[in-house]
């Protein structure tokens, strides 16, 4: 069958031509109605497929012209339309078109409509009756002079096109609904993600504020501890001087001893404060774990609820451990307080201590241990227990399950850091409803435990005397007077200054000075470390001894090395000061 395509768009014309030729139709293209009239006589097609809107002559005009042509008045004529206007129906009927195929079209639909139109057209060619058909559409009355069958065929094609359009519209709506659902889901997911991010940001901001608060508290605490150390040192020093004037085993001497014991507890408190302020370094030594833990538990009982029972179990012949006693006490306190909170102030805490040699059982704790022998301290409570996801986070800084303001989330992270810094290890076992056990593995010490108290005999005291010149620099007047008096009693020639500027003036004066004994923190621009540097420049052979509760940062503030600078932690005993001075003055000078 020959088909004439009338289409002004070259792309659409070629696309339609290829479709038809692939299905065994013979095809010729005309670019508009006038071009079609010029070609139709020579080509003699059986079917015309025409676009409507074209230059020179549109599709309606072409169809009317062919209906007046004697040779082609019965030719099958199909219009291609978007059906965007009801007038297209009337115009199509008036022009004499047989069918309308809507654009855009699917290939299968196009070929199906085309095949049906050809079959029906062959049937209609035998029908000769023509009638004038009058009908109302869109408010207008139209008179169509055509076979009823042609009108029905035309309207049927429009109906089929409308149904097809409706199906496509329905499918489009389904696709739009699907896309809308996907979009809503994406929006919900993103909203949820933003909500989580916002909550995380608020949590981190709160942690940052907590950290800032702790930092401020640490600075304040460190300053308070420094001043308190000076007061303790004054009291302890005067009690020592008084004690030396009293008879042994006298009631007065016993009173002095009790006062010293109380002040030493105060000294312990300042060390706690400095530890919180992160100004204290570790000072490990051999410790009798049984004796020290028993002492800690004695201190614990008043801090915990009266409804909490503490029990202990110590293996015989326990090894000594190599730790910083003060930090060890802090760690035990932190774990015990967490146990108290987990039991809501009522229950039992059990301490079990045993020797542990590194074997497969200990290796199973999940971290390689550096030593062969450890002392294992297990602390078990009867609290609520923890799920695995909580246990995995308990040593993280700022992690806490307590209500806001009830905990900083730093206690257990400080315990973990101390144990690791001490070359030990810590594990946790917990079960919901049955409680929690903390297992601390602390390295065995191979160094004998040294007695802290050393009795100063008259012979020992005599060995601490000297005749060198010592410059004391201390801004606390009472402490300066105390140290001055004590060193004078030991035979030293003593110079004093209350500021770095005064001390520097004495050094520059050319007077003999064998040792500079200075506080670290002083008013003015010249601190103890800065004064030490200047003194070494002016007097290369001078010995340096600095004192402060802040043992950690002495060398960080100074250009001097360990060989040039010595440190004495406050509060110190006067005999400890005397011993330190003699040791330094006997050393070979650097310079």
pLDDT tens digit sequence for 334-348: 888 888 888 888 889
Question: Which range among 229-238, 373-382, 419-428, 556-565 shows the weakest confidence by mean pLDDT?
Answer: 556-565
- Listed in sequence order, the residues at least 6 apart from 4 whose beta carbon sits closer than 8 Å to its beta carbon are 27, 28, 29, 30, 36, 39, 40, 43, 45, 47, 48, 49
Q: Between the ranges 186-195, 405-414, 415-424, 564-573, where is the mean pLDDT highest?
A: 186-195
Residue 28: inside a domain, yes or no? yes
Count of residues in the chain: 591
Q: Which residues make Cβ contacts (< 8 Å) with residue 18, sequence separation at least 6?
A: none
Whether 347 and 383 have beta carbons less than 8 Å apart is answered as yes
The 3 state secondary structure assigned to 52-120 is CCCCCCCHHHHHHHHHCCCCCCCCEEEEEECCCCCHHHHHHHHHCCCEEEECCCCHHHHHHHHHHHHHH
Cβ atoms of residues 3 and 45 within 8 Å: yes
- Is residue 477 domain-shared with residue 552, that is, in the same domain? yes
Residue bearing the bigger pLDDT, 431 or 394: 431
Of 66-70, 155-159, 239-243, the one with minimum mean pLDDT is 155-159
Report d(CA 284, CA 325) in Å as an integer: 7
Assess contact for 485 and 509: CB atoms under 8 A. Answer: no
Token readout for 173 is: 């709506």
Q: Is the pLDDT of residue 555 over 60?
A: no
Residues 411 and 302 in one domain: yes
- In the chain, what percentage of residues exceed pLDDT 90? 24
Last residue of a domain, one of 146, 165, 181: 146
pLDDT at 504: 93
pLDDT above 70 for 528:
yes
Dist. CA 407–CA 525, nearest whole Å: 39
pLDDT score of 100 = 85
Which CATH number does the domain housing residue 525 bear? 3.40.50.2300
| 409: region left, alpha or beta (phi > 0 left; psi from -120 to 50 alpha) | left
In a domain, 297, yes or no: yes
Domain for residue 276, yes or no?
A: no
Who has greater pLDDT, 530 or 388?
Answer: 530
Q: Please list the helix, strand and coil fractions of the chain in percent, rounded to the nearest 5, in that order.
A: 50, 20, 30
DSSP string, 172-241: HHHHHHHHHHHHHHHHHHHHHHHHHHHHHHHHHHHHHHHHHHHHHHHHHHHHHHHHHHHHHHHHHHHHHH
Mean pLDDT (whole number) for 107-133 = 75
* pLDDT tops 80 at residue 88: no
Indicate the residue among 146, 170, 203 that finishes a domain: 146
In whole angstroms, what separates CA 331 from the centre of its chain?
A: 26
Instruction: State how far Cα 100 lies from the chain centre.
Output: 67
Average pLDDT estimate for 434-447: 88
Beta partners for residue 441, in sequence order? 376, 425
Average pLDDT over residues 126-153: 60
**Distances from the Cα of 219 to the Cα of 226, 233, 268, 278, 374, angstroms:** 11, 21, 19, 9, 36
Burial of 218 (0-12, 13-18, 19+ CB in 10 A): middle
Give percent of the chain with pLDDT exceeding 70: 73
Angstrom distance (rounded) from CA 149 to CA 138 = 22
Task: Respond yes or no on whether the N-terminal peptide bond of residue 71 is cis (omega within 30° of 0).
Answer: no
Residue 365 pLDDT exceeds 50: no
* 3-state class (DSSP) for residue 425: strand
pLDDT band for 588, please (50, 70, 90 cuts). low
The closest of 149, 94, 34 to 79, measured between CA atoms, is: 94
- Hey, what are 41's tokens? 């006589």
Considering the domain architecture, whether residues 434 and 501 belong to the same structural domain is answered as: no
d(CA 375, CA 382): 23
Spatial neighbors of 276 by CB under 8 A, at least 6 apart, are: 217, 218, 221
Domains identified in the chain, total number: 3
DSSP state of 562: T
Q: How confident is the model at residue 286 (pLDDT cuts 50, 70, 90)?
A: confident
Q: What average pLDDT does the segment 18-31 reach?
A: 95
432 and 554 housed in the same domain:
no
Same structural domain for residues 357 and 486? no
- Same domain flag for 501 and 570: yes
More confident call, 118 vs 244: 118
Q: Are residues 322 and 421 in the same domain?
A: yes
pLDDT (average), residues 172-183: 86
Q: What is the number of helices (H) and of strands (E) in the chain?
A: 17, 19
Residue 549 half-sphere exposure toward CB, CA atoms < 13 A: 27
User: Among 43-52, 143-152, 375-384, which stretch is predicted with the lowest mean pLDDT?
Assistant: 143-152
Position 550 confidence tier, pLDDT thresholds 50, 70, 90:
low
- Which range of 114-123, 281-290, 496-505 scores highest in mean pLDDT? It is 496-505
Cα 293 to chain center, whole Å? 37
Task: Tell me the average pLDDT across 55-73.
Answer: 91
Name the pairing type of β-strands 373-381 and 425-431: unpaired
Q: Among 26-30, 101-105, 472-476, 526-530, which stretch is predicted with the lowest mean pLDDT?
A: 101-105
At 590 the pLDDT is 46
Residue 516 pairs with which residues in a beta bridge? 471, 544
Cis peptide, bond prior to residue 250, ω within 30 of zero: no
In whole angstroms, what is the distance from residue 490 CA to residue 58 CA? Answer: 127
Looking at the structure, do residues 466 and 570 belong to the same domain, yes or no?
A: yes
Using one digit for the tens of pLDDT, what is the confidence trace for 451-490? Answer: 544 444 445 556 678 889 999 999 888 888 888 988 988 8
Q: The tokens of 289 are what?
A: 């774990």
Task: Look at residue 26 in the predicted model and tell me its pLDDT.
Answer: 95
Give me the pLDDT at residue 413, please.
Answer: 72
| Of residues 300, 320, 431, 324, the one with CA closest to residue 374 | 320
Mean pLDDT for the chain overall: 78
Say whether both 415 and 502 belong to one domain.
no
159-181 per-residue burial string, b: 16 or more CB within 10 A, e: under 16: ebbeebeeeeeeeeeeeeeeeee
Give the pLDDT confidence score for residue 15 in this predicted structure: 93
Residue 386 lies in a domain: yes
Same domain, 433 and 552: no
Domain range for 69 is 2-146
- The reply to whether 366 and 489 lie within a common domain is no
Q: What is the DSSP letter of 469?
A: E
**Mean pLDDT comparison of 117-131, 162-176, 256-270, 363-377, highest-scoring range:** 162-176
Phi, psi of 169 (to 5 degrees): -65, -40
CA of 275: how far to CAs of 222, 281, 301, 413, in Å? Answer: 9, 8, 22, 14
> Would residue 160 count as lying in a domain?
no
250 part of a folded domain: no
- Which range is most confident: 79-83, 525-529, 549-553? 525-529
* Residue 567 belongs to some domain of the structure: yes
Domain boundary among 119, 146, 173: 146
Residue 156 pLDDT more than 80?
Answer: no
pTM of the complete model = 0.40
In DSSP notation, 116-141 reads: HHHHHHHHHTT----EEEEEEETTEE
Instruction: Give the pLDDT mean for 89-94.
Output: 79
Q: How far, in Å, CA of 168 to CA of 156, rounded?
A: 18
Flag whether pLDDT at 356 surpasses 80.
yes
The CATH number linked to 397 is: 3.30.565.10
Q: Check whether 362 has a pLDDT greater than 50.
A: no
Does residue 350 fall inside a structural domain?
A: yes
In this structure, are residues 447 and 286 in contact, taking their beta carbons and an 8 Å threshold?
yes
Measured distance CA(544)–CA(514) in Å, rounded: 9
Same domain, 430 and 300: yes
Most confident region among 136-140, 214-218, 228-232, 265-269 by mean pLDDT: 228-232
Q: What is the pLDDT of residues 368-427, one digit of tens each?
A: 566 678 999 999 998 888 888 777 777 766 566 665 445 555 567 777 777 877 888 888
């Amino acid at each position: 069958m020959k088909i004439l395509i009338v289409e002004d768009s070259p792309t659409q014309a070629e696309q339609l031509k290829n479709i038809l030729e692939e299905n065994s139709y013979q095809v010729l293209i005309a670019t508009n109605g006038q071009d079609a009239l010029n070609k139709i006589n020579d080509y003699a097609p059986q079917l015309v497929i025409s676009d409507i809107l074209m230059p020179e002559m549109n599709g309606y005009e072409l169809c009317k012209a062919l209906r007046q042509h004697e040779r082609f008045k019965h030719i099958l004529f199909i219009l291609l339309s978007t059906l965007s206007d009801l007038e297209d129906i009337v115009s199509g009927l008036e022009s004499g078109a047989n069918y309308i195929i809507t654009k855009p079209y699917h290939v299968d639909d196009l070929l199906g409509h085309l095949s049906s139109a050809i079959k029906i057209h062959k049937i209609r060619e035998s029908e000769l009756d023509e009638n004038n058909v009058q009908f109302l559409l869109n408010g207008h009355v139209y008179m169509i002079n055509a076979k009823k069958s042609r009108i029905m065929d035309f309207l049927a094609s429009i109906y089929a096109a409308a149904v097809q359009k409706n199906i496509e519209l329905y499918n489009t709506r389904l696709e739009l609904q699907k896309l809308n659902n996907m979009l809503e889901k994406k929006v919900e997911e993103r909203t949820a993600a933003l909500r989580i991010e916002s909550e995380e940001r608020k949590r981190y901001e709160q942690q940052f504020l907590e950290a800032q608060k702790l930092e401020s508290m640490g600075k304040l605490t460190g300053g308070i501890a420094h001043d308190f150390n000076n007061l303790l040192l004054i009291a302890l020093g005067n009690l020592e001087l008084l004690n030396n004037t009293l008879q042994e085993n006298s009631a007065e001497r016993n009173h002095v001893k009790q006062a010293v014991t109380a002040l030493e507890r105060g000294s312990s408190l300042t060390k706690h404060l400095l530890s919180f302020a992160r100004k204290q370094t570790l000072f490990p030594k051999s410790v009798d774990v049984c004796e020290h833990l028993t002492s800690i538990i004695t201190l614990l009982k008043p801090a915990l609820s009266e409804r909490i029972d503490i029990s202990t179990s110590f293996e015989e012949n326990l090894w000594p451990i190599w730790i910083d006693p003060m930090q060890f006490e802090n760690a035990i306190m932190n774990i015990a307080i967490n146990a108290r909170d987990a039991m809501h102030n009522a229950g039992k805490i059990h301490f079990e201590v045993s020797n542990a040699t590194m074997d497969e059982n200990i290796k199973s704790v999940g971290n390689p241990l550096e030593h062969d022998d450890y002392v294992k301290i297990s602390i078990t409570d009867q609290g609520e227990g923890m799920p695995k996801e909580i246990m995995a986070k308990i040593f993280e800084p700022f992690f806490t399950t307590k209500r806001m303001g009830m905990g900083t989330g730093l206690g257990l992270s400080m315990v973990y850091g101390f144990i690791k810094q001490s070359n030990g290890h810590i594990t946790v076992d917990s079960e919901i409803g049955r409680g929690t056990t903390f297992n601390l593995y602390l390295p065995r010490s191979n160094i004998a435990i040294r007695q802290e108290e050393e009795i100063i005999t008259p012979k020992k005291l005599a060995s601490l005397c000297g005749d060198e010149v010592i410059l004391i620099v201390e801004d606390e007047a009472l402490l300066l007077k105390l140290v001055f008096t004590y060193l004078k009693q030991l035979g030293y020639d003593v110079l004093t200054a209350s500021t770095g500027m005064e001390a520097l003036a004495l050094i520059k004066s050319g007077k003999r000075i064998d040792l500079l004994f200075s506080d670290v923190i002083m008013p003015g621009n010249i601190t103890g470390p800065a004064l030490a540097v200047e003194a070494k420049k002016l007097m290369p052979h001078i010995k340096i001894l600095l004192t402060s509760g802040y043992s950690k940062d002495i060398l960080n503030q100074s250009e001097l090395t360990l060989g040039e600078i010595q440190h004495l932690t406050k509060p110190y005993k006067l005999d400890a000061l005397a011993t330190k001075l003699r040791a330094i003055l006997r050393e070979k000078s650097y310079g």
